[in-house]
Chains A and B, each alone.
Chain A
Amino acid sequence: MSATPDDVLPGDAKTAAQTSTKAAEAEAEYGHLVRSEYEHGFVTEIESDTLPPGLDESVIATISQRKGEPQWMLDWRLAAYHKWLEMPTPKWAAVHYPPIDYQSISYFSAPKKKELKSLDEVDPVLLETYEKLGIPIEEQKALAGVAVDAVFDSVSVATTFREKLSEAGVIFCSISEAVQEYPELVQKYLGSVVPPTDNFYTGLNSAVFTDGTFVYVPKNTRCPMELSTYFRINEAKTGQFERTLIVADEGSYVSYLEGCTAPQRDENQLHAAVVELIALDNAEIKYSTVQNWYPGDEEGRGGIYNFVTKRGDCRGDNSKISWTQVETGSAITWKYPSCILRGDNSVGEFYSVAVTKGKQQADTGTKMIHLGKNTRSTIVSKGISAQHGIQSYRGLVRIAGKAEGARNHTQCDSLLIGDKCAANTFPYIEVKNPTAKMEHEATTSKISDDQLFYCRSRGLSEEDAVSMIVNGFCKEVFNELPMEFAVEAQKLLSISLEGAVG
């Protein structure tokens, strides 16, 4: 069923062309520039309806029942659960963390007020939280033209712009709602790109996912606005198991923005989301992420574990899926947004900026699976490592035997700040068709003294100089982001790497 099991990316350094580099400069020189308090580190006091920790069939049944799900959905969850029990946790990624006790996690948490008709009914504390995060839902509706399906913990509490979208025939709702309202679509597509058995975390997610987003764009429809969901993990010990399913029918277009922040908490929080994208003939999906989850304190305590499976299926001819991500948060990131280029002439793109500092670890990259004829893929990965950050780019480009005339261009650049961080590159290339054209470029660089001095001699502070140079390094990726998001991303990068010094 799965065209791309995750075990095609084993972390065996012997088979990978590994380049590991450490900078030579003293961390002390730039250390103060990269230390800044986590800006969104506050916790909202709000009553939650939370299940006690632990996972078994009855917990899954309870989740399904609370969600008012039909029998087929419960059966699907239970099947996933039984498979999951037999699956091993993946060990190949270049990240290190203590074993997770899955029985100590609570698998359901929802704000008590539910089924809101309008924003007036939303808990004011919640709205205040959004405001602190700079998400003024009301203004945003009018100003930015962005429909926000705000996910607070696990249940969607506010969905806007429904009417305008429904005029266009676009479905944009929580996945739970979709299970009830559009069961035929959900049943047809759920798990068709990322099957429950794909890997350990997709198995877990399939068994216990509590919310997420569903998007369906009908034939020959251009979604009238950029769709956006803000995620926020708020309940201690609550793992988040989001499930996102986006289907772009023939000849349609949709751009989806995902932005995340989380409050400061003391315990590691597991996040194992699954995102599935399906593009049919001549359809295009653009998926952009800005991720700023709590990365832990200076020792790496308390940060989010972000173990996400994101995959897009260019199922139709001439379809296109484009992933753009800016990853600055989380203690551990394990994430490979991928494209299956099944349709002839289909196009896959991956643009990524990832920042690791403090004790953050990231093993991220992409997979481009070329199955159709004349398929094209582009990979641009920019990794920035500071302090004790460890970062690995891990990417697979596979050209199947029938993929005549496939082309790939890969560029991965690493920027090191200080001498205690590390950057690894693990490119995997499998070509089974002789007509393929492959290009791979990789660089590792440091911010040079010359560059810093040049900026400072023009009156710029050292902080501003670092921020400017880093933003310049990431420019190719930021250019791919929608306008408002690009501004946000630049700001986020500056905050991550310098901002409030001391």
Chain B
Amino acid sequence: MLSVKGLKATVDDKEILRGLDLEVGAGEVHAIMGPNGSGKSTLAHVLSGREGYEVTGGSVTFEGRELLELDPEERACLGLFLAFQYPVELPGVNNTYFLKAALNAKRKYHGEEELDAVSFMRLMKEKLKVLHLDDSLLKRPVNVGFSGGEKKRNEIFQMALLEPKLAILDETDSGLDIDALRVVANGVNSLRSPERSMLVVTHYQRLLDYIEPDYVHVLAKGRIIRSGGKELALELEEKGYGWIVDEAAA
């Protein structure tokens, strides 16, 4: 599904990713953990094609395509989805309208017929039900005036509608209280499937109590320095990152 080999990237000439390797298979959930400044968000942004990052080495293939050569919109159409750490506000742009445009852009890319308003509404209702969300967010402008929890829920709702093959959740737990975290995690869990992979980028083990990963990777100084099963997350929670970082440096 996703294969990252020796990925190096800089921001303002500062090297953030220093030879990162990662293999994600279909249906797998991988957690990327690591201390502040280790390059977690940079990885999420480079994979989704955000400008401002310069890739200086390595390669990324996604579904057999050279991912780094593609525009962000093409990556999205191929099935990559980034749930933002800080979802962006679009004043005056109706949320339903935005979602319909996004879904139809993807359908068009795959040569499928665009959904009309009626079919789209039906689909939306269906997805809301699956996620146990109400429709109060749909009539408002995208993310404008949303609480932290509402913004994250809206991200997960977009993910449910766009049905990505690989979802990258960038610190989805940040800024959420425990109840909101549970709602969001339940949403993510209901979207787990054998065809859908997930890359969960997080600071804390807390989120992983709810979204149970198949693999946990520790990112430090731009490289993955330790990989393991979900028990690795618990060990990190107990001991912190220091010991692994020290071990890796030794």
**Measured between C-beta atoms, what is the minimum distance from B84 to chain A in Å?**
7
Contact partner, B82, options A449, A457, A472, A475, Cβ 8 Å: A457
Q: Is the CB of B105 within 8 A of A460?
A: yes
Smallest CB-CB separation from A470: which chain B residue? B92
Cβ contacts under 8 Å, A460 to chain B: 73, 101-102, 105
Given contacts A449-B51, A464-B101, A472-B141, contact A458 B76 (CB under 8 A): yes
Determine whether A461 belongs to the interface, using a CB cutoff of 8 Å to chain B: yes
- Distance A461 CA – B75 CA, assembled complex (angstroms): 11
Q: Using Cβ atoms and an 8 Å threshold, which residues of chain B touch A187? A: none
* Residues of chain B with a CB closer than 8 A to A472's CB: 90-93, 141
- State whether the Cβ of A471 lies closer than 8 Å to any Cβ in chain B: yes
Residues in B with CB closer than 8 Å to A468 are: 90, 93, 98, 101
**Chain B CB within 8 A of A432 CB:** no
Q: How far is the CA of A461 from the CA of B81 in the complex (A)?
A: 15
| Contact with B92, one of A454, A461, A474 (Cβ below 8 angstroms) | A474
Closest-CB distance, A481 to chain B (whole angstroms): 14
> Contact: A453 with B141, CB < 8 Å?
no
Which residues of the partner chain A approach B105 to less than 8 Å between Cβ atoms?
458-461, 464
**Contact of A456 with B109 at beta-carbon distance under 8 Å, contacts A451-B88, A473-B92 already known:** no
1/0 per residue B71-101: CB within 8 Å of A?
A: 1110111000110100111111100001001
Q: A457-B82, A460-B73 are in contact. Are A471 and B88 (CB under 8 A)?
A: no
Q: Tell me the count of chain A residues lying within 8 A, CB to CB, of chain B.
A: 23
Give the distance in Å from the alpha carbon of A457 to the alpha carbon of B164 in the complex.
Answer: 12
A476-B92 in contact given A449-B51, A454-B87, A457-B76 (Cβ < 8 Å): yes
B197 part of interface (Cβ distance < 8 Å): no
**Interface residue? A455 (CB, 8 A):** yes
Known contacts A453-B50, A468-B98, A468-B101; A459/B93 CB under 8 A: no
Closest to A472 in B: B92
Looking at the assembled complex, report how far the CB atom of B4 sits from the nearest CB atom of chain A, in whole angstroms: 18
Complexed CA–CA distance, A461 and B102 (Å):
10
Q: Residues of B contacting A459 with CB < 8 Å?
A: 73, 76-77, 102-103, 105-106, 109, 162
Within 8 Å of chain B (Cβ to Cβ): is A184?
no
Chain B nearest Cβ from A472, distance in angstroms? 3
Partner of A461, one of B73, B98, B103, B158: B73
Chain A residues with Cβ below 8 Å from B92 are: 471-476
A448 to B50, CA, bound (A): 13
Within 446-490 of A, Cβ neighbours of B (below 8 Å) are at 448-451, 453-462, 464, 468-469, 471-476
Q: For the complex, what is the distance from the CA of A284 to the CA of B89, rounded to whole Å? A: 37
Residue B49 at the A interface, CB < 8 A? yes
Q: Which residues of B contact A455 (CB under 8 A)?
A: 90, 98, 102
B48 within 8 A of A: yes
CB of A453 within 8 A of CB of B90, answer no
- B106 and A469 contact, CB distance less than 8 A: no
Interface residues of B in 107-125 (CB under 8 A from A): 109
CB contacts (< 8 Å) of B76 on chain A: these are 456-459
**A448, A450, A453, A474 pick with most chain B CB within 10 angstroms:** A453
Enumerate chain A residues within 8 angstroms of B82, measured Cβ to Cβ: 457
A89 to chain B, nearest CB (A): 38
Q: Which residue of B lies closest to A451 (CB)?
A: B88
Which A residues touch B49, using CB under 8 A? 456-457
Q: Are B93 and A457 in touch, CB under 8 angstroms?
A: no
- Bound CA span A337–B73, Å: 42
User: Which residues of A approach B to under 8 Å, CB–CB?
Assistant: 448-451, 453-462, 464, 468-469, 471-476
Given contact pairs A450-B88, A468-B101, enumerate 10 new A-B contacts (beta carbons under 8 Å). A453-B50, A453-B72, A454-B90, A457-B76, A459-B109, A460-B73, A468-B93, A468-B98, A469-B93, A472-B91
